[in-house]
Structure 1
Amino acid sequence: MIKVQLDEGRLNAINHGIALNLINIYETRDLALITTPLIEVFNVLLQTSSDIIMQVFNNKNPYPGLFRLIDHKDNQIVLLSLQSICSLLKGGLDTTEAIEQHPHYNIIDRCNGIKILYKLFKTTQTPELQDICAICIGRIYRSKEVQDKDIRQDVIAQLKNMVHDLNEWTRVASIEVLILLAQNQGKSYI
C-alpha cells in the first residue's frame, strides 16, 4: 500500500514536470550552480518500479544532462549522477528480453556516454565511482559486442574483482553484469 502511494507520488511529480525541469537544469545550468539536492530529487524519482523509470526515460531522455554532470567538481554529484544512470539502465534491462540489445544503447552512444563513463573509469581515484562506471558500461553492452579491446578488458577485470566486494549491492550487480556479458553470443569475454 505504501509503495503504491509512493509510486503514485513519483508519477505525479514526473507528470507535473519536475523530472523535465531537473533534466533542463542538468543540461543548461552552470555546473558550479548545480547542488547535491538537485540530483538527489531525481534519484528519489528513480527509486521505484521499472514502469516509472521507463516513463522518465522514454518521455524525458535524461542521459545528456546526467552525463554532463559527470564533469562536476563535486564527487557526490558525480556519484549521484552515476547512480541515476545505473538505475535507468537497470530499468531498461528489466523491461526487455535478455537477448535484446539494451534499449538505451543508441541514445547513450549518441551522447558519447560510453566514452564519458570509460574516461571517468580510467581517471577517477574513487573506487566507488570506478565500480559504478564498470557496472553501467556492462549493462549498456548487454547483447552487444564490446568492440573496444581496452574497454572490454578493463571493465571485465574490474567486474571480476568486484564479485568479492564487501558491499552487497556492488557484489550482486557485478555478478549480474558478468552474466549479461557472458551471454553475448559468440563473444568470449569472460
Structure 2
Amino acid sequence: EILTMRQEIINHLKSLLSDSDDWTKERARDALKYLAQNDENRSVILSEIELKKIEQDLKQPIVGTEEQQKDVSQKQETDIILLQLVLEGLDDDELRLRIISSGIIESLLIIFMNRDLNSITRIYSETFFQITNNSSDEVDLLIYNMKPYSGLISLLEHTDDYIACDAIVSIFNIIQAGSSTTQDTEQHPHYQSIQACDGINKIFSLYQKNGSQFSKDRGAICIGYLFRAREITDLTMRQEIINHLKSLLSDSDDWTKENAKEALKYLAQNEANRSEILNGAELQKIANNLQKQLKGTEDEKKIIVKTQETDLLLLSSVLENRDDNEFRSDVSNAGIIDALLQIFTSRDLDEITRPYINAFIHFTHPSNFIICQLILEKQPFQSLLRLLKHKDDYIASDAVVSIDNIVYYTSLESEQSSQHPFFTNLVSVGGIEKIFSLFKVATNEFSKKISAICLGIVHRAQEIKDVDMRKE
C-alpha cells in the first residue's frame, strides 16, 4: 500500500509540473525536490523508464504546426525541470552515471548545436551544468568522451548572460577533470578538442565581452587551465588573461582566488608565460611590499596585509612544485626571503597568516643543497621556530615542514655516516627541544609525523641524548 501511495503521489506531482497554474507548478516542483532527498524516492522519481522517456522526448525535433511545436517544447521543458530539481545541489554520482548511460547528455548536446540559440531556455543549460557539478572526475571525463565542447561553446554566444555563464562553468568542470587526472607539468589533454571548434577564441571573446563578471572570471580561469605548460602565443590574450588572473588573487571569493592561483601555476609551467607572470621587476616590487612595516590605523594595516598576501599567493603559484634553481635564486636575490624571515621574527604571531609561511614552504621544496645554502646564510631557524608557537596548527606544521625540507635536502648531499651539517645550527637556537615539544603537544597527526622525521634526520649518525625523546 505504501508503495502504491509513493508511486501515485510521485506520478501526480510529476504531472503537475506542466500545470497551467504557476503556483501549482512551483509547489509540485518543491514537493518533488524534497522527496528526492531520499534515495528510495529518488529512484522512483527518476527510474530507468523515466530516464529513457526523457531521452526519447529530447530527441524529438520541434516541427509541425505551431500547436505541435508548442507541445514538444513543453514536454521537453517539463522533463528537464524534473531532471534539474532532482540534481540541484545533489552529490550522487550513481544517478549521474545513469543519466549519462541513458543518452540524455547526447540529446542535450544535439539541442545546443542544432537548435536556434534564442529558442534554448535557461533550464537546459542549467541542467547540463548540474550534471557536471558536484560530480567526480569519472563522471566529467565520461561527458568529455561525448565531445561536449562544440555544443557548450556555441552557448557562449547566447544573448542570455545566465546561459553563457552555465556554459562556461560546465566547460570549466570538464576541463578541471582533465587537469586533475594528469600531471601538472603536462600540457592540457583537452586543448586540441577545444581548439578544434575555435573554443579558445570564443572563450576569450566571452571574457572580453561586457557581460557578467562571473563569466569573465571563469573564462580567464578556463584559458589559464587550457594553456597549462603551453605558451599563450597571442600577446594580447597572454597579457590580458595573466593580468586578470593576478587581480583575482585578491578576490573576496575563496573559490575564485584558489582557481586563479591554480591557473597561474599551470601557465607558469611555460617560460614565456612565467616571465609575463613574474619578472625581476615584479619580484623587486614584492620584496618592497613585504618590507613595509605593519603600522597605521586598522584599515591601513589591513591594506598592507592584503597586498602582501596577494603578492605571496602569486609567488606561491609560480614556485609550487617548480624545480628551477635560477628562479629561486632570483627570488632570494630580490630580498623576498629576508623580508619573510624578518616578518616571522618580529611580527605579532596573530598577524602572520598562512600565505606568508606557504610561500616560504614552496621556496624550500623542491630544493637542493645550493638553495638550502642560500637559505642557511640567512640564519632561518630562529624565525621559523618562533612560528611553532602559532595558534593556527597549520602554520605551526608548515613551519616545521620548512625546517624539515631544509635539513632533508642538505642531508642528501653530505656523507651518510657523518653528523648532519646543520645539527649545530639547530642546537644553538634550541631547535631540537622546540621541535620535540611540538611533537608532544601537536593535535594534528601531520605535525607529529613531520616533527619526528625532522628530528630523525638531524640526529643522523649520532645518539639522541634525551632518553624520552629517543624512545618516543
Q: TM-score, normalised by structure 2?
A: 0.39
The Cα of 1:101 is off from its aligned counterpart by 1.0
8 Å Cα contact 2:231-2:270 kept in structure 1: yes
What do the CA deviations read for 1:100-151 (whole angstroms, capped 9, x no partner)?
A: 1111100111100110011121122422111111001101101111111111
Structure 1: distance between partners of 2:248 and 2:126: 25
Q: Secondary structure at the match of 1:189?
A: helix
Measured in 2, the distance between the counterparts of 1:72 and 1:125 equals 11
Aligned partner (choices 187, 196, 220) of residue 134 of structure 1: 220
Q: 1:183 to 1:15 in 2, by over 3 A?
A: same
Match of 1:49 in 2: 136
Secondary structure of the residue aligned to 1:101 is: coil
Alignment partner, residue 143 of structure 1: 229
Q: What is the distance in 1 between the residues matched to 2:99 and 2:271?
A: 40
Give, in whole Å, the separation in 1 of the partners of 2:91 and 2:226: 31
Q: Structure 1 residue 20 and structure 2 residue 115: aligned?
A: no
> Are 2:110 and 1:63 equivalent residues in the alignment?
no
> What per-residue deviation string (whole Å, max 9, x for no partner) do you get for residues 73-106 of structure 1?
1100000000001111101101111121111100
Percent identity, aligned pairs only?
Answer: 36
Larger Rg: 2
What's the counterpart of residue 244 of structure 2?
158
Deviates more, 1:48-57 or 1:5-14: 5-14
**Matched residues in 2 for 1:37 and 1:57: separation?**
21
Match of 2:470 in 1: none
**Does 2:93 align with 1:7?**
yes
How far apart are 1:189 and its partner, in Å?
2.7
Equivalent pair of 2:108/2:124 in contact (CA under 8 Å): yes
1:57 corresponds to which letter in structure 2? Y
Show CA shifts across 1:51-86 (max 9, x none). 11001101x111011110011111000000000011
2:205 is aligned, of 91, 97, 119, to 119
Does the 8 Å contact 2:245/2:260 carry over to 1? yes
Output the CA distance in 1 between the equivalents of 2:127 and 2:258: 25
**Residues paired across the two proteins, number:** 187
Distance 2:232 2:272 in 1: 12
Give the whole-Å Cα distance in 2 for the aligned partners of 1:142 and 1:119.
20
Amino acid at match of 2:170: S
Match of 1:172 in 2: 258
Query: Which range moves more in the overlay, 150-159 or 115-124?
Result: 115-124
- 8 Å CA contact 2:161–2:211 kept in 1: the answer is no
Matched to 2:144, the amino acid is F
Counterpart-to-counterpart distance in 1, 2:127 and 2:97: 13
Q: Which runs of 5+ in 1 are unaligned?
A: none
Instruction: Find the aligned partners of 2:96 and 2:269 in 1 and give their Cα distance.
Output: 34
Q: Give the root-mean-square deviation of aligned CA atoms.
A: 1.6
Alpha-carbon distance in 2 for matches of 1:115, 1:34: 23
- What displacement does 1:40 show? 1.4
Structure 2 residue identity aligned to 1:54: L
Return 5+ residue gaps in structure 2 as ranges. 1-38, 40-89, 278-472
Taking structure 1 as reference, are residues 186 and 120 closer, same or farther at Cα in structure 2, changes over 3 Å only? closer
Distance in 2 of aligned mates of 1:149 and 1:185? 14
Map of 2:177 onto structure 1 = 91
> Aligned letter for 1:138?
G
Q: Are 1:139 and 1:177, in contact at CA under 8 Å, matched by a contact in 2?
A: yes
Aligned to 1:37: 123
Q: Equivalent residue of 1:53, what SS? A: helix
Is the contact between residue 181 and residue 189 of structure 1 (CA under 8 Å) also seen in structure 2? no
Shift of 1:181: 1.0
